[in-house]
Structure 1
Amino acid sequence: MAADKVVRLGRHGLTTDILVTDFLVGMALCRCGPSNPTRIAREMSGWLDCEVKAAAISQSLAGVLERGWVHRDEGVYAITQSGLDAMKGVYAAVIRLLDRGQRFLDVGVFMSIMKDFERSSTREEI
């Protein structure tokens, strides 16, 4: 079950067994809002600086759907609250990793930016 795959560490509830592609799919949905696989792949392509085809993320979409981190309605995926929680924990850990534990990068600011993306009413259309 999905709950068996999450280990609570610290205040962010870090998810320990997430694939990089699962994280990128989740972040794309946080930033773009409800999207079809083509739109998610296009967002990921920009981050990875290479073309990502929708078919290449089908396993990650199935995995995050199975975990309850997204829901699907007529081919459109949207992040759920548990998905947001999982992304926040990993996102905070990545920022700390990039910061090398020095705390020069402000995780709170980055989390605030992420929340702004989630609430943005100017999201691209599907």
Structure 2
Amino acid sequence: MVELDEPRLDVVFHALGDRTRRVMLRELAGGERTVGQLAEPFDISLAAASKHIKALENAGLIRREVRGRTHWCRLEPGPLASADEWLRFYEHFWTGRIDTLERLLREEVASPNSKSKGENR
């Protein structure tokens, strides 16, 4: 298995574990947003939005910059690449399972003992 920074990955997956934060990240994939813009789609206060943003910052997933009195956020995709790399390790497991299922289904259809729905009547 690929050796990754486990404590850092824990923080990233914790941050990704919340739907609100995932939606915020998706918004940031389209470009910079203010804290207010990130909070807008949700029925939450700016203080609650700031807590979500802080969790994303702690995971290194976003960077916040203060310009005047406005806090701007932008996506930092590096930690997402690490999470993707960790998940890809398990891709062969699921691919193998799907290939086995496909093979079994093809064998069942090709079997001379298999009956179509119409033959059961």
TM-score, with structure 1 as normaliser: 0.46
TM-score, with structure 2 as normaliser: 0.48
Bigger fraction of residues in strand: 2
Larger radius of gyration: 2
Higher relative contact order (CA 8 A, sep 6+): 1
